[in-house]
Amino acid sequence: MMLRSQEDLDSIADAHRLLSDGAISPSELVEEHIRRIAEREPTIRAWAHLGLEAARDRAKALDARLGTMATIPPLFGIPFGAKDIIHTRQLPTEAGSRVLAGFQPDKNATVIDRLEEQGAIMLGKTTTTEFAHMGGPPKTTNPWNHAHTPGGSSSGSAASVAASMAMFALGSQTAGSLSRPAAYNGLTVLKGTFGRVSKAGVIPASWTLDHIGGFTHSVEDAVLLYNGIAGPDPEDEFTWALPYQPLKLRPRRDFTIGFVDHPYFASASRDVQAGIDDARRAFEEAGVRIVSVQLPEGFEAAAAAHAVVMQSEMAAFHADWYARTPDRYTPEVRAYLADGQGLKAMDYLRAQRIRAQYRSVFAKVFGQVDVLLTPAAPSAAPEGLSATGSPVFNLPFTHLGIPTLVVPTGFDSAGTLPVGMQLVAPAAQEQTLVDVGLLYQSVTDWHRRRPAL
């Protein structure tokens, strides 16, 4: 059938309504995305592995079930991609590295099992920098401008959704690998509190820093995805302390937003700052109170501790592989691991102590505000594919393990590359982020813009 608009195939919520009404089938959704992959993948290069025949077979099986179900789950029949550090039975998991060339897991990661249980359809695995590190970037391009990076390390996940080759795509964040690509590609990303989404079956970059999330086009879709993958998992002890708390879509305007006034964010470009100023005006016109907020002393020191924690944990995880096959790593990652092996236990423990102490100090910032507002990245997507941009604006909040939401706020001065803002909430307050983000996207339409492909 002919869909009403491209957005019908970008919005999980709209596709769910079409599927529920019998106006489209899972097979029709999958075939349209396969057509787009054939058309756009040669330029975007977002996919590491594709399983299109398996996706077709799964869609046909779901077609048969569709007419027998009184209601269908929100992610039923929705085509998606998964970052190539997430274990999948049907496709290799190589983590963008020669170290794992040809590796085929014998079981899925928990997030994949949860999505499959709800009827989501995996199209393939998306590209990543080597082991989700800053080094070894893939040749994936930004759909808004192919000469620019889509960001990383979740490069292919962001690019596949921005190019409408998948309706959502899973990624991970250890510093800024969800938030930064979302800003660079005009997407919406909800990164939950540390431990909200299971990491079982995901190759770690850093055990105590990694977060799992997904790229979508809207806050509404982000809620549907989050509700589908969040919750405690017996196989991930970090999830045990947080109960499953599904998010809701509810209209609210009674917020106080704290605009972060701190030198740490002074490197934001004029284009990014213009987007932040426009967002502030949109909130104020919607009746939201905006106040200036100073961050507690020690913010930079806590952010610096992140580097020690990440490097120590990554070096520890890779110790055996590195000892056996160091030449299979890219030079950047090989050097990073070698330096990490030189860190002492004292360095690591001190960094974790700084982190724990500052987490309690930082929580007091939210005494007078509901959320904080900062730029999502220092600039629009940088030119070139040899690097993926800076996570500097995201890593402090990843380090603290608190939830963030990134949404688009406009474009650069040339009108070609998206920019975005980052909303930050206290631990376990994802619902507040969703409330604020939903209000913003109800009075702006940046999240509806698409690249010309």
Please classify residue 101 by burial: count the beta carbons closer than 10 Å to its beta carbon, then call 0-12 exposed, 13-18 middle and 19+ buried. Answer: exposed
Catalytic residue, chosen from 11, 25, 27, 153, is 153
CB 374 within 8 A of CB 263: no
Catalytic residue, chosen from 97, 160, 164, 177, is 177
32 vs 4: CA distance, rounded Å: 13
List 20's β-bridge partners, or say none: none
- R_g of the chain, CA atoms, integer Å: 21
Pick from 187, 159, 144: nearest CA to 447: 187
Q: Is residue 177 flagged as an active site residue?
A: yes
269 vs 272: CA distance, rounded Å: 5
170 vs 148: CA distance, rounded Å: 21
Catalytic residue, chosen from 83, 125, 191, 199, is 83
CB 3 within 8 A of CB 23: no
CB 430 within 8 A of CB 247: yes
Is the Cα dihedral 335, 184, 228, 35 positive or negative?
negative
Of how many residues is the chain composed?
Answer: 453
253 vs 282: CA distance, rounded Å: 12
Q: Is residue 83 flagged as an active site residue?
A: yes
69 vs 3: CA distance, rounded Å: 23
**Cα–Cα separations (whole angstroms), residue 352 to 31, 246, 307, 346, 348:** 48, 30, 11, 10, 6
Q: Is residue 267 flagged as an active site residue?
A: no
**Residues recognised as catalytic:** 83, 153, 177
